Structure 1
Amino acid sequence: MILMKDIIREGHPTLTKKAAPVKLPVSIADRNLGFSLLQYVINSQDDELAKKYGLRAGVGLAAPQINVSKRMFAMHVHDLDGKLYSMIVVNPVITHHSREMTYIPGGEGCLSVDRETEGITPRYVSIRMKAYIYDLQSNDFVLREMDLDGYPATVFQHEYDHLDGIMYTTKLYLEVPGATPLFDLYETEEDEI
Structure 2
Amino acid sequence: MILPIVAYGDPVLRKVAVEIDADYPGLETLIENMRETMYNASGVGLAAPQIGKAIRLFLIDASPFADDEELSDENRKALESFNKVFINAKILSEDGDEWAFNEGCLSIPDVREDVFRQPEITIEYQDENFVKHTETLNGLAARVFQHEYDHIDGILFTDKLSSLKKRLIKKKLENISKGKIRADYRMRFPNAKKGK
TM-score, with normalisation over the residues of structure 2?
0.71
Q: State the partner residue of 1:9.
A: 7
TM-score, with normalisation over the residues of structure 1?
0.72
Alpha-carbon distance between aligned partners in 1 of 2:54 and 2:26, rounded to the nearest angstrom: 14
CA shift digits 1:25-59 (9 cap, x unpaired): 35351232123222333xx2xxxxxxxxxx33110
Q: State the partner residue of 1:65.
A: 50
Alpha-carbon distance between aligned partners in 2 of 1:25 and 1:94, rounded to the nearest angstrom: 21
Answer whether contact 1:35 1:88 (CA < 8 A) is retained. no
Kindly indicate whether residue 144 of structure 2 is the aligned counterpart of residue 158 of structure 1: no
- C-alpha root-mean-square deviation of aligned residues, in Å? 2.0
Q: State the partner residue of 2:81.
A: 84
Alpha-carbon distance between aligned partners in 2 of 1:36 and 1:148, rounded to the nearest angstrom: 26
Amino acid across the alignment from 2:152? L
User: Which runs of 5 or more residues in structure 1 are unaligned?
Assistant: 45-54, 135-139, 176-193
Kindly indicate whether residue 41 of structure 2 is the aligned counterpart of residue 56 of structure 1: yes
Q: State the partner residue of 1:109.
A: 104
Length, aligned pairs only: 152
Q: State the partner residue of 2:24.
A: 27
User: Which runs of 5 or more residues in structure 2 are unaligned?
Assistant: 166-196
2:94 to 93, 97, 108: 97
Ranked by relative contact order (alpha carbons within 8 Å, sequence separation 6 or more), the top structure is 2
Identity between Structure 1 and Structure 2 (%) = 34
CA shift digits 1:38-87 (9 cap, x unpaired): 2333xx2xxxxxxxxxx331100000000011000000113541432111
